[in-house]
Amino acid sequence: MVPPLDPAAENERRVNIVQGEQRVSGDRSVVLTTLLGSCVSACMRDPIAGVGGLNHFLLPGDRPGAGASMSHGVHAMELLVNALLCQGARRERLEAKLFGGANLMRSLTDVGAMNAAFAEDFLRREGIKHTGGSLRGARGRRIQFWPVSGRARQVWMQSEEVLPLVVERRSPRQAVVSGALELF
């Protein structure tokens, strides 16, 4: 039996977020989506300002010398908070749900647990209310987040679906060539 279509879903605009990206929106029609294995995403919002966002980071990056890459949690979390503040959110009203941090390759270092611990600690240090989510475990997740309402949905992935997570990345942007000048 096919479930009835949700009339609101027809008007939704899905925005997929991959490793190293983040997006903030105050548009009720936007649904932010991502696939997570050992990576973590913070779904954060200000319920009064009606704005929220989602990031997706690969490594905690909270150690000295880790660099300031969007793939690192410390940078990704700061960028998400700052983007929300720029859209009218107030730090004291922020609330977050955390997802991901699975241990997909048991024989290797548990990067997922390190990511999860980093994200929880970041919220605690910054005084951001942690309202839920799903961290750790052994399976990947598909996440949908409605940034204005704060609604989040998680769908567990089957083990054979997890392999693409290891190589998930946006393809590099092509350089624009105009005469003898390369723009990138």
Query: What pLDDT is recorded for position 159?
Result: 63
Question: Taking the CB of residue 20, how many other CB atoms lie within 10 A of it?
Answer: 18
Convert the pLDDT of each residue in 106-115 to its tens digit.
767 889 999 9
What is the secondary structure of 170-182 as a DSSP string? PPPPPPEEETTEE
Q: Which of 24, 31, 39, 162 is catalytic?
A: 39
pTM: 0.79
Contacts (Cβ under 8 Å, ≥6 apart) of 122: 62, 73, 74, 77, 128
9-160 belongs to CATH 3.30.70.20 = no
Active site residue 86: no
Contacts (Cβ under 8 Å, ≥6 apart) of 15: 23, 25, 30, 31, 32, 33
Contacts (Cβ under 8 Å, ≥6 apart) of 168: 18, 19, 35
Convert the pLDDT of each residue in 51-65 to its tens digit.
999 999 988 875 545
Given a contact cutoff of 8 angstroms between Cβ atoms, the answer to whether 163 and 171 are in contact is no
